[in-house]
Structures are given as C-alpha cells and as structure tokens.
Structure 1
Amino acid sequence: MITLPLKGKTVFIPRSGKQGKELSKRIVQLGGEPYCIPLIEFREGKDPNGLQYLKSLNQYDWVIFTSQNGVKFFFQQLGKNNITLSPQTKIAAVGEKTKDALQKHQFQVSFVPTLFSADDFAKEFDDDGMRPKKVLIPKGNLARDIIAKSLISKGWTVDEWIIYDTIFPIDSKEKLASLLEHVRLDYALFTSPSTVHHFMEIAKEPKLEKKAKMIDFISIGPVTKKAIEGYGWKVTASPQKYTVDAMLDSLCKLMTKREELE
C-alpha cells in the first residue's frame, strides 16, 4: 500500500531551478500539490576587497564555506582570474550539501560540524584545539558573522569575503501576492531566514495577512524558525537535522500524527 501523507495538501516552496524541481517532485510523490515561487536569487557580489583576497588566497590556512552558493561563486572567481587553491589549504563546510559541492571540485573537506548550522560549526571548530591561524570565509551578504566572531575571539585572523548577494526577484513579488490571494495553501516550507523575510514583505499586506496566517509554517532549522517567530508567527514543525529532506520528513510525520488524532 502506497502512503500519501500529503494527499490533497497544497505546499508552497520558496525556491526554483533544480532544487525547486526536486522538492516539487517529492511533494507530488507524497500526494501533495506544490507551488514554486523563488523568493531568493543570487548574483555575484561586489566586495571591494575581493581581488586582494584572491591574490593572497594561498596565505590562508583554512577556507570555510557556509553554503553551496559560496562554493559556486568562489570557484567562478577562481576560474575567471585563473587562480588555483593550494592543496595545503584546508577546507571546512557547514553541512553535507556544501561538502558535496566542494567534492565535485575535487577538494577534500577536512571539517563538517555534527549539526549543520553556523552556531554548531563555531562550537565544534573552536573545540578542536588548533592554534590560531588565518582563515577566509566566502559568504553571502546576508549570512551571519557568528563563525568569524567566534574565531576572532580565539585569536584567529579572519577575512569575510562577500562573494554573492541575495536578492528578492522582482517578478516573484507579484506572483506571491497572487498566489496568497487566490490559492488556499496548507503548508509553506522555509529554507532560510531570507525566504522568511521576503515572504513576510508580501504576506504582511493587510489584504493578504489573514490568508497567510492560515498556512502552517515548516522551518528547516532553528535560525529560520527564529526568523519566523520574530514576526510573531508560529512554526508548526522544524526538524532536528537541518536539511531539506529532514524538513520534508517532519512535515510527513506531522500529517501522519494529525490523521491518527482525527
């Protein structure tokens, strides 16, 4: 017997491209009806120090990547400037997806935290007992600085390279407003604080807020959960492991539990 925990349920996905298609496919397989509108878009950053970071790249002991996009734009910059990363430079990643993205570039990842968040990375990396070294963190303009602050407090030298910018696609604003107005959404999956902030920019409009508040919000992890709660809205489910697969699994478990109570 095929289990369809999301049968008849509408699910909002704030991403597009390959990631959005894969998640949409999973939701359809589980019986749900996905609605995809990208709430974030990425473009090359204009950090004035970027060229200097590239020129001194092999002076860093570690390069720490906090996202797949950081990996993507980092290697774009290396290719564009015909620069290679020394095999002596150690690589760290916040999460398995980021690790996978690095391994596709044939780089060995020396450190990944147990839980995939900047907070957990800072705790575990600090506890490694390493002497203070020099580290580069390629990141997005909206990424937090918790890793940098933690390492600086331990005496490390840290450079944060804003290698990409996160923006709200203009055409998505109108699409989201129309979706909230005309479709009864059961669930919304939030994958980052940025997706939350951009959603709220539209959902807080007086004519849409009542309908938006009828949606159950599912968060990928504690930082995104905190962003949702910062608006005074409730998070219905959030997984222990901070991945899209775990988030979707938490939604399915929620549906199964609700069916058992009916």
Structure 2
Amino acid sequence: MFDPEFPLTGETIVFTGSNQPEEAVELVEKFGGKTLYYPLIETSVRQSQLPDFERYDWLIFTSGNSAEAFCQLHLATHAKIAAVGEKTAEVLEQHGYQVSFMPSVYSADVFVKEFPAVAGEANCLFIKGSLARNTIASMPMKVDEWIIYETTFKIENAEKLKALDGVTVIFASPSAVSAYREAGGDWSGIRVAAIGHVTENAIRQEGGTVDFIPEKYTYTEIINEIVKGSF
C-alpha cells in the first residue's frame, strides 16, 4: 500500500556523479527509498603550469569539480568570480572566495546569454575539466581556457549499472551519459533523471527518454521531482 509519508518505499535511486551528494541521499532515505552510488566518471587534478591570474578580470567555474581543484591551490586573486550552480558557488565560498555572478538558470547555455552584459569587454579565464564543452569560450569577449583536471570514464561502474532493472538513474553530466553508453548501457528497464537541459539533450541524442528533470538544477530538486512522480 502506498504511504504518502514514505513515497519512495520500494524505489532505488542510483547516483552517478563523481561525488556522492549526501544531502540528496539523506532525502531519499527520509522518503523511504534506497540508494546506490555508481560514479561513472572520475577526476584528477592536472599537474600543469599555473596561468598568470593577474591578467584576468573574471574567473569562470561551471562545476564543483573545477572549483574544488582550484581551491586546493590556495591562490589569492583580485579577479571577480562567476559560478554556474549553487554547489559550485558553495565550494568557492567555503574557501573564502566571493562569487560575484551566477546565471538565473544553472546552465552554461544560460550563462553565455547573461554574463556578457555584466562583464563587458573583460578578460576572462574559464577553469574547466578536460571533457567540458566549449560553450563558455563562445562568448563575444576574451575567454582563455585552463584545464585544471582530467575526466575519465569508470567503465566498470557503467557495466554494473547497465545490469540493473527497475531503478531510477540520475545523470548529472553528458560525460556520465557517454560513459554509460560506451559500456553498452541502454535505456530499457530504468527510469531516467537528468540534472540540466544539456544532460537531458545528451540522453535524448543517445536515444533515451528523460522521465524527470527539475526546474532548478540541483540533486535535492531532482529527488523532489521523483517524489512528485510517485503520487
């Protein structure tokens, strides 16, 4: 019998990002569900020469991974900071950096539409992972790119994931989708959740159907969307 206090009873939610979102895991458990964690990508900080940060007016971060890697360097900078997403901003602010701009929707596609009006002709440095798309660099301003970490696929976890049935799988990046497909994963027997319309588009381009996507691109909001679908 369905229990509205525990709407995820009997449901299993699979997280696939490079870091397990503890708050979202706790929320699933609060609603009576179970969780699995099969990260489909892993990151490692690249050992490379540091850019001359004094040249830049803005530093741009589009992921928590790039923010965490940057914070490990303990650098002082006069540049303003732009971040895509609450978690990305949270990482930076926890390490003493002030975030001066975030887009109205946590997506690089929206960022490139809104940021030029704020930054003008500023010199910008996009701090990114090796598989990041080139959306940010498409802006009509000076944008240099610095790869701060490498992204690799965890195919062994993708193999485990493709063997599951009757679960809801959360994809948070196109890279995770690529890893799943490279391992031969298809979309049968699972419900699919996407964080962000870029990830949603990657799933659709690979022949999948997205069952859940939140208006606000966070893990907690995707869990709330899954809960709504249970009623």
User: Is the structural similarity TM-score above 0.5?
Assistant: yes
Residues 68 and 16 of structure 1: CA distance in aligned 2, closer, same or farther (over 3 Å): closer
TM-score by length of 1: 0.80
Higher mean alpha-carbon deviation, 114-123 vs 7-16, is at 7-16
2:230 counterpart SS class: helix
Paired position in structure 2 for 1:259: none
Name the amino acid aligned to 1:169: K
Name the amino acid aligned to 2:7: P
Paired position in structure 1 for 2:61: 65
Name the amino acid aligned to 2:69: F
Q: 1:98 aligns with which of 79, 84, 88?
A: 88
Paired position in structure 1 for 2:123: 134
What is the number of equivalent residue pairs in this alignment? 229
The alpha carbon displacement at 1:172 in A equals 2.2
Paired position in structure 1 for 2:25: 24
Paired position in structure 2 for 1:260: none
Name the amino acid aligned to 1:135: C
Are 1:85 and 2:76 counterparts?
yes
Residues 16 and 148 of structure 1: CA distance in aligned 2, closer, same or farther (over 3 Å): closer
Paired position in structure 2 for 1:38: 39
The alpha carbon displacement at 1:2 in A equals 6.2
The alpha carbon displacement at 1:248 in A equals 1.0
The alpha carbon displacement at 1:52 in A equals 5.1
Does the 8 A contact of 1:65 with 1:98 survive in 2? Answer: yes
| CA RMSD between the two structures | 2.0
Are 1:248 and 2:214 counterparts?
no
Does the 8 A contact of 2:64 with 2:91 survive in 1? Answer: yes
Comparing both structures, which one devotes a greater share of its residues to strand?
2
1:78-129 C-alpha deviation (Å, 9 max, x unpaired): 34xxxx323x31111111111111111111111111110101111111223x
Paired position in structure 2 for 1:221: 196
Residues 2 and 232 of structure 1: CA distance in aligned 2, closer, same or farther (over 3 Å): closer
Does the 8 A contact of 1:12 with 1:185 survive in 2? Answer: no
Does the 8 A contact of 2:66 with 2:129 survive in 1? Answer: yes
Name the amino acid aligned to 1:158: V
Name the amino acid aligned to 1:8: G
Which runs of structure 2 are paired with 1:119-130 in the superposition (5 Å)?
A: 119-128=109-118, 130=119
The alpha carbon displacement at 1:189 in A equals 1.1
| Structure 2 runs not aligned, ≥5 long | none
Paired position in structure 1 for 2:49: 51
Larger radius of gyration: 1
State how far apart, in whole Å, the 1-side matches of 2:222 and 2:57 are.
34
Are 1:188 and 2:169 counterparts?
yes
The alpha carbon displacement at 1:16 in A equals 6.3
1:235 counterpart SS class: coil
State how far apart, in whole Å, the 1-side matches of 2:65 and 2:14 are.
22
Comparing both structures, which one devotes a greater share of its residues to helix?
1
State how far apart, in whole Å, the 2-side matches of 1:69 and 1:110 are.
19
TM-score by length of 2: 0.90
The alpha carbon displacement at 1:131 in A equals 3.3
1:134-192 C-alpha deviation (Å, 9 max, x unpaired): 11111011111112111xx2xx2211101111111254244335xx1xx4333111111
The alpha carbon displacement at 1:17 in A equals 5.1
Q: 1:8 aligns with which of 7, 10, 13?
A: 10
Does the 8 A contact of 2:192 with 2:211 survive in 1? Answer: yes
